Structure formats: C-alpha cells, structure tokens
Amino acid sequence: MAHLEPLEDKLVVLIGGAGFLGSLVAQELLQRDARLRIADHAPEKAFHLKPLANLGQMQFMRCSVTHRASMEAAIRDADAVVYLVGTFGAHQKELQAEGAGLAAEIAAQQGVEAFAYVSAIGADAESESGYASTKGLGEKLVLDAFPKASILRPSVLFGENDKFINLFAGLVRAMPVVPVFAPEAKLQPLWVDDAAEAIVSALSDPGKHGGRTFEIAGPEVLTMNELLHDIARTQERKRILAPVPDGLASLFASLPGTPLNSDQWNLLKQGSVASGELPGLKQLGVSPRPLELFLDRWMLRYRKHGRFTEAAETA
C-alpha cells in the first residue's frame, strides 16, 4: 500500500504567505501535494509560484489580519494554518500579536487541525525590542486560543535573495572601510529552505508537535565580525572592518532612512542563538545546512568581475 503524505490534499492557509519565508513554505507544501491558500495583504507578490502548482492546487486571497470577517474568510475550510506575518515597521502589536491571536481563535472555532505560529529566537513579551516583545505576546495569544499550536522560533534567515546577507554584501562591495555594528553579537543563521521544511514538518504531525515551542537555528554560530569577514573573503575583497561603538550605533539607528532601525539594532545586540533548552530542528527531522555551503556562489555577483573574476585574473 502506497505511503500517503500527511498533508496530501489538505488545505493549508498561509497567512502572510507572500513574503520571503512564505514563498519557501508554499513550495515545500506543494511538493507534499497539499492544497494552498495564500492569504496576504498583497497576494500578487506570490503569483510567481503559480507555475509550480497543479490546476486548482493554489488559491490567492487578499486579507487583513486586523479584520475578523477577512480572517474568517481566509481560514474557512482550512485543515491547517501557518501565521507568517512579521514586520520591523509600524503596527507590530496589531500585526504580529493581535492578528496572530485572532487567527488562532478563528482556527479553533472552525475546527482546524494544526496551527503554526512563526515567532523568533529571543521572543519575549518583556523585551526592549518591539519586534521581540510583540512576537512574545503573539505566542501567548496563539496558545491561549489554540493550545495545540506549534510555535517556531527561527534565528536569522538567509537565502539567495534575502535582505540580511545581501544588505551586508552590498556594504562590503561599496565601502573600503566597513562599519560593524555589534561586532561580537552572535548569530546562528538558518537557511530559509530548512526553516520552511521545519514549519511543514510541525504541521504534518500536530499530535506530536502541537503545543510545543521549537527554536530552529543553523548548525554554526558566527559573530557579526566573522560574518562580515566571510562575506568579504568570498567577494575576494580586502576590507577593513571597523567596530562601531554602541552609542554611535544607537544614534545611527535612530535616524530616518538608515538601513538599520532602532528595533533591528536592539535585536542585533542581543544576538540570535538557540538556548539549547527547547526542542529544535532535530526533533522536526531537519538537518540544517551551513551558510558556508552557499556563500561563495552567492557572492559571485558582488565580485569585481562577477562570475568572470577567475578568468580575468588568469588571462
């Protein structure tokens, strides 16, 4: 008798599913023959996924996580729900906490089998970071409404088109002297594909993974200084890495239009490393891949001659 994938033909709703992580979660679910509904304030951002789906396998819905009727329509008939909304901008409490609690409440009322909330390592309702504090509040509201929800706390996510590695890669390419904010802050970068696999794994077995909180992080711990050194090395550029004093960094982050806002600065200072006190990727059956596996190839476009660097040097 053929083995059936637990999510095969199940309707999974991805709330906030048109973003960086959501797109990878969608692809993982499509590979497992689930049916998808991308519910987002801008679902057209996920239209590039259409060619990956079979006829009728994927739906798109515009929704607002702050409006009950909109959320009820988005979750209707769902077997599983993933709440992926995250922001460093305004309205963090409404989007990351209250919206998540509302989604979990509606999911419970509608008899949804599995619910996953994507939080963050360092989530804490008492944190000085608005992002971390509202993620912490979101966890509480979700579990209050849907006690068998799975909470997933990823570390910093990386991928070929991310806004983290590429931000620093651009700085390294452009600046002979690169400012390093929080140079000793420790990170445990997680490949976005591994994060997506972990989320789907949690959904696949709510009996085993429901009601648990997972810290999901990559296999290596790097300081910010080490990360920038690796980026410069793989770009084949000699750069001076200049640590920025915390006071100056805090002032810079408070200015409008800078690539690092105050909330991101507060998060960066505290680092993003798994505590080791909670279950992680191993319990979800995921073997994480290190950043170094991808960095050399991804940095080709930032080198002086791009992918023709070696040819130019040997000519």
Pair of tokens at residue 3: 């083995």
Distance between the two ends of the chain, CA-based, in angstroms? 60
pLDDT digits (tens, 9 = 90+) for 172-231: 999 999 999 999 999 999 999 999 999 999 999 999 999 999 999 999 999 999 999 999
- Per the listing, tokens 């992680």 go with 280
pLDDT digits (tens, 9 = 90+) for 36-64: 999 999 999 999 999 999 999 999 999 99
Pair of tokens at residue 216: 């999901």
3-state secondary structure of 154: strand
Rounded to whole angstroms, the Cα distance separating 269 from 261 reads 12
Contacts of 186 (CB under 8 A, 6+ apart): 221, 222, 223, 271, 272, 273
Distance of CA 240 to the CA centre of its chain: 30
Distance of CA 18 to the CA centre of its chain: 12
Q: Which of 107, 60, 111 is nearest to 82 (CA)?
A: 107
Could you tell me the pTM of the whole model? 0.93
- Per the listing, tokens 């789906």 go with 53
C-alpha distances (whole Å) from 161 to each of 24, 98, 165, 191, 274 are 12, 29, 9, 11, 24
C-alpha distances (whole Å) from 295 to each of 8, 159, 235, 300 are 34, 9, 9, 9
**pLDDT tens across the length of the chain (315 residues):** 344 589 999 999 999 999 999 999 999 999 999 999 999 999 999 999 999 999 999 999 999 999 999 999 999 999 999 999 999 988 999 999 999 999 999 999 999 999 999 999 999 999 989 999 999 999 999 999 999 999 999 999 999 989 999 999 999 999 999 999 999 999 999 999 999 999 999 999 999 999 999 999 999 999 999 999 999 999 999 999 999 999 999 999 999 888 889 999 999 999 999 999 999 999 999 999 999 999 999 999 999 876 655 544 444
- Sketch out the chain's domains with CATH numbers: 11-157+190-217+273-288 (3.40.50.720)
Q: What are phi and psi of 17, to 5 degrees?
A: -85, 5
